[in-house]
Amino acid sequence: MKTEADSDDVTLCPRDDICDTQRGQLSDHRGTHTADELYSCTQCDRRFAYQKGLRNHMNIHRGKFKCPECGKPCGNCSELAVHMRSHSGEKPFECTVCGKQFTQSGSVVKHSRIHSGEKPYKCHVCDKAFSQSADLNRHTRVHTGEKPHKCSLCDKSFSQTSNLQKHKRCVHSNSRPYGCPYCGKLSKIHSELKLHVRIHTDAKPYSCRHCSDCFTWRNQLKTHLLKSHNEGTWFTCDICQKKFSSKQELKVHVQRHESVKPYVCSECPKRFYRATELRLHHLVHLEYKQFSCGLCDKQFIRKPTVKIHFKKCSAEHSVTGVVL
C-alpha cells in the first residue's frame, strides 16, 4: 500500500507520456496541453485536459446544477456555490496588497501575481513566461497555428472558445445584454463592460511592484515598466525606429507608413486604421450626442470634443463673472 509520501512522487497528469507534471503542480496545470491532447465534448467544440473537466462540462449540457436565481447551468455544486455569490455580492477572499475582493480563493492567487510579477509558466519554444497557465495555453497556439474552434455561422476559426463566443455575439448578433450601472451604456460582452465601469469608479487595479504608481489599464502599467524601470521589451518600427510598448501599437503604426486603412465605414466611403476609430466615426451617422457641457448644456458626439469645449466655456464664465 502506498504511503502519503509515496503518492507525492506519482505523476498524475493523464498525458504522462509527454508530461511529468506531478501532484503539487496540478492545480494550475490544467489546460496547458495542445488540443490534440485534450478530451473532447460530443455536443460542442470544447476540449479539456482532464476527464474531470469534461465531466463537469457535460453537467452544463445536462443542466444538472442550475442556478435557482438566473437558471445558469454549472459544472458541479462547488461551481454553483461560487456563482451564487455573484447574486449575493459576497466576496470573501481579499488581496492583501490592494484590498481587491474575489469570490474564489484561486482568483486571489492569480491576481497576486500582478503585484509580485511572478510568471511560473514558460513556453518551451520561445521561453516567454506567463502568470497563468491559460495564457500559456493560448500562447502555444501562436507556434502551432492551431484554431480548433469554428464558427457555425461563417467560416472563421479561433484558437480559443472565448474568442469564438465573442465573435458570435459581436458579429452575428445585435444583442447587448450587459448594462452599465452608472450610465446605462450597453455592451455586447461582459469584459467590455468591466473595462467601461472603470471610467466611473476610477479603479486602478494594476500596481507597479517597483514604486507606488497604480494604473487603470494593463497597457499603462506595461508602458510605465518600460519607461520608468527598463523592464520588458520595446517593439521598434523598422522604418522610422519609433518604439512601442505593444505589438498591436506597432502594427497600427506600420499601417500608417503603408497608408493601409483596413476598417471601412458601412455608411460612407471613409476608412480607418483602428476599429476604435471606426466605432467613434459611426456615432456621426447615428447623430447620438451622449456628452453634454455642464455649464451651457451644449451636446457633443465625442468625449474629447466636450472636454475642449468645457475649458473654453468655463474660461468665458470666469471672465463674465469678473466683469459682473
CATH value at residue 288: 3.30.160.60
Looking at the chain, list the stretches that DSSP marks H as alpha helix, in order from N- to C-terminal side. 4-7, 51-62, 77-88, 105-116, 133-144, 161-171, 190-201, 218-229, 247-257, 275-286, 303-323
**Does the residue 314 lie in any domain?**
yes
Q: Which triple of cell numbers denotes residue 259?
A: 497608408
Cell numbers 455573484 correspond to what residue?
A: 86
- For residue 287, the model assigns a pLDDT of 63
Residue 283's SS3 state is helix
- For residue 170, the model assigns a pLDDT of 77
- For residue 179, the model assigns a pLDDT of 86
Q: Counting every residue, how long is the chain?
A: 324
**Does the residue 113 lie in any domain?**
no
pTM confidence score: 0.41
Distance from C-alpha of 288 to C-alpha of 300, rounded to nearest angstrom: 8
- For residue 286, the model assigns a pLDDT of 67
- For residue 229, the model assigns a pLDDT of 92
Number of domains comprising the chain: 1
**Does the residue 268 lie in any domain?**
yes
Residue 13's SS3 state is coil
- For residue 224, the model assigns a pLDDT of 92
CA distances from 241 to 21, 238, 253 (A): 43, 6, 11
Distance from C-alpha of 311 to C-alpha of 293, rounded to nearest angstrom: 10
Are 301 and 282 a contacting pair, CB within 8 Å?
A: no
Backbone dihedral angles phi then psi of residue 291, each to the nearest 5 degrees: -115, 130
**Does the residue 266 lie in any domain?**
yes
- For residue 318, the model assigns a pLDDT of 66
**Does the residue 45 lie in any domain?**
no
Q: From first to last of its 324 residues, what are the pLDDT tens digits of the chain?
A: 334 334 334 434 544 443 544 444 444 454 455 444 467 888 876 777 778 888 888 888 888 888 888 888 888 888 888 888 888 888 888 888 888 888 888 888 888 888 888 888 888 888 788 888 888 888 888 888 888 788 888 888 887 777 887 788 777 887 788 888 888 888 877 778 888 888 888 888 888 989 989 998 888 898 899 989 988 888 898 888 888 888 888 888 887 887 778 888 888 888 888 777 887 777 777 666 667 777 787 877 777 787 788 888 887 766 555 433
The candidate with the shortest Cα–Cα distance to 133, out of 109, 103, 163, is 109
Are 35 and 146 a contacting pair, CB within 8 Å?
A: yes
DSSP secondary structure letter of residue 294: T
**Does the residue 62 lie in any domain?**
no
Residue 155's SS3 state is coil
Distance from C-alpha of 196 to C-alpha of 214, rounded to nearest angstrom: 18
Residue 11's SS3 state is strand
**Does the residue 153 lie in any domain?**
no
**Does the residue 307 lie in any domain?**
yes
Full residue range of the structural domain in which residue 299 is found: 261-323
